[in-house]
Structure 1
Amino acid sequence: MRKAIVIFTVLALISMSFATIGTYVNKIYNPDDSQDKENSNVIKMEITFSNPQIKDEEKYLIINLEGCSPLLSPGKPVIPVYKKVFTLPFGTQIESVEVIAGNIEEKSLPTKIIPAYELVPPDMHSSLSPLKENKAIYESNSIFPETRYEYATMGGISDGKHVTFLSLNLYPLHYIPSKNVITIAHNIDVEIKYNPPEKPLIQNDVYDLIIISPSEFSDALQPLVNHKENHGIKTKLVTLNEIYGSVYFPSQGRDD
């Protein structure tokens, strides 16, 4: 089986790393190991979160939750987020994502949670901008973030094969800025139902080289495609518009 090489002319790096100490995945149901056809396309997780660690940083508080990474959005409170990525068959459609939070504890804070800094300047030499609160959030009586979870699907390559990645973000900690109150869900149950394609959408050995590019570069890259083809290298040019338009894989996402 041929392994395709993928060239990205535009590359975005998304960090999905997180610590695992203090957060326990009590149970994860792997459909690949099941003989139960009724539940063969279901993923279940039971996650336990420990107490948050609260650090006083001058006039703000820093909240850490083991097993989570910080949600960094300039001007908004830095909240722990639990990240998990699942690898599914290419072309999989997500039928439903159900998240149930339990054992919720409320805690009052003596001051505000620290906001995230502005993005680092491109020259990497300028000093950091002073912390600036997003007033619409910090003066609000609404919880932040407004959702308990978010998910998105995207196509990609894993171990040389086309797959669908399901990226799931969980928010075990909610914050009411105007009241300086947090709630922590110590238990979260997740159930994901999905529908894999009846037959493979793309054969993994069709192309030797896949070029992913913005649409405006497609004409300029066509000679490269022709050159590779003329030398016996099966090549495919895929534009970002085709990706965003779900031409080669379904693009899904939701937050609730």
Structure 2
Amino acid sequence: MKIIPILITSVLILSGFGVIGAGYGLESNTTCKTIKLTVSPLEINDENDKYVEINLENSNSYLMKPGKPMLPKIVKTFELDFGVKNIKVELLPKNIRVYKIKKEVFPSPALLPLTNIKMTASKVVKDKTIYQNDLAYPSCWFEYHTGCGLSKKGDKRVTHVVVDFYPVRYFPAMGKLLVAENAEIKISWDKPDRKPLPENGEYDLVIIAPNAFANELQRLVDHKNNHGIKTFLKTTEEIYKEYGGADKPERIKYFIKDAIETWGVKYILLVGGLKNTIWAKPRDDANQGSRDWYIPVRY
């Protein structure tokens, strides 16, 4: 693969250019964390006679949307205490350079579905609304989202904050790249007013299954309880009556959330599968299957 020559111009970008969020005062119950990132040197490689490929050695992912420029990104995940509130994220890019390129950045290919059927990769078609635009792509230096789950060690529940940093931004109509050589990420959050989960859980395990399996599973429940694992059985029929939701998988989800927050449940056992491997249909629609499942599934 050939490395092509490029024209580099150093520029000074005012702090705050393309940064989401402004400064804010920290209250007494607010915790703040700051980390600094260093971006590895930019690599611009010839892909073919029309496109170039953009790489960074220390990027761990790519911004890939079909037909849009494929650009490297750096993903950072932070673990905060479970139940924290008012999470705010700021990212300040530093030491920004301008790179002039003569070819367009290679567009991301369309995603192919996971299937056993042999498929041929479709021709890459670029999104002209992006490539003929003189605005930056992506439109900002970073995005972030939050969620809850287990810690990396798997020993406790935490709040995850995932930051997608886009160190390379592309101006297609101008043939120009903005590259941040450094960045500073600042995260702040408020501590929860109370413990979001019980200190001492009433139960360790909940088994979710249809009523048809209840009698047989009761023996398992008794066995677990006799060995010090506090267990109870909840039937799908009971859940559907007691919990609302857009569909049956969502009702199951809300029950599990309630079981964790109310009884401190640590483990969930789902019992059930397709009612028949010959005539049963796995999907009711594009999002879920319920009718022919003992336990509904989400797609």
Normalised TM-score (structure 2) = 0.59
Is the 1:161–1:204 Cα contact (8 Å) retained in structure 2?
no
| 2-structure distance, mates of 1:209, 1:57 | 54
For 2:37, the equivalent position in structure 1 comes to 47
The alignment's C-alpha RMSD in Å is 3.2
**2:30–2:188 contact (8 Å) kept in structure 1:** no
Q: Is the 8 A contact 2:44 2:53 kept in 1?
A: yes
How many Å apart are 1:208 and its aligned residue?
2.8
Q: Retained in 1: the 8 A contact 2:38–2:181?
A: yes
Distance 1:223 1:182, change over 3 A: farther
1:50 is paired with a residue whose SS is: coil
- The structure showing larger relative contact order (alpha-carbon pairs under 8 Å, at least 6 residues apart) is 1
| Separation (CA, whole Å) in 1 of partners of 2:206 and 2:185 | 35
User: Residue 136 of structure 2 aligns with which residue?
Assistant: 143
Quick one: which of 155, 158, 178 aligns to 2:148?
A: 155
1:131-173 CA distances to partner (integer Å, 9 max, x unpaired)? 1111221111110101111111111012231111111111111
Query: Which residue does the alignment assign to 2:168?
Result: 173
Question: Is the 8 Å Cα contact of residues 162 and 204 (structure 1) preserved in structure 2?
Answer: no
Structure 2 counterpart of 1:208: 204
Structure 1 stretch displaced more, 67-76 or 175-184: 67-76
Query: What letter corresponds to residue 65 of structure 1 in structure 2?
Result: L
Q: Secondary structure at the match of 1:143?
A: coil
**Please, which runs of 5 or more residues in structure 1 have no aligned partner?**
1-36, 212-217, 250-256
Rg: which structure is higher? 2
Identify which of 76, 82, 94 aligns with 1:84: 76
How far is the alpha carbon of 1:122 from its aligned partner?
2.7
> Against the structure 1 CA distance between its residues 209 and 63, is the aligned structure 2 distance closer, same or farther, given a 3 Å change threshold?
farther
Structure with a larger share of its residues in strand: 1
Q: For residues 199 and 84 of structure 1, do their structure 2 counterparts lie closer, same or farther at Cα, with a shift above 3 Å needed? A: same
**Equivalent residue for 1:9?**
none
The amino acid that maps onto 1:66 is E
Stretches of structure 2 that go unaligned for 5 or more consecutive residues are 1-26, 226-230, 244-248, 262-299
Partner of 2:55: 64
SS of match in other structure, 1:77? coil
- Aligned residue for 1:178, secondary structure, equals helix
| 1:230-249 correspondence runs (5 A) | 231-232=224-225, 233-234=231-232, 240=250
Amino acid at match of 2:51: Y
Matching of residue 190 in structure 1 with residue 185 in structure 2? yes
Q: Deviations over 1:48-97 (max 9, x none)?
A: 21321011011211100121121122111111111011111111124421
Q: Quickly say closer, same or farther: Cα 1:71–1:163, change in 2 above 3 A.
A: same
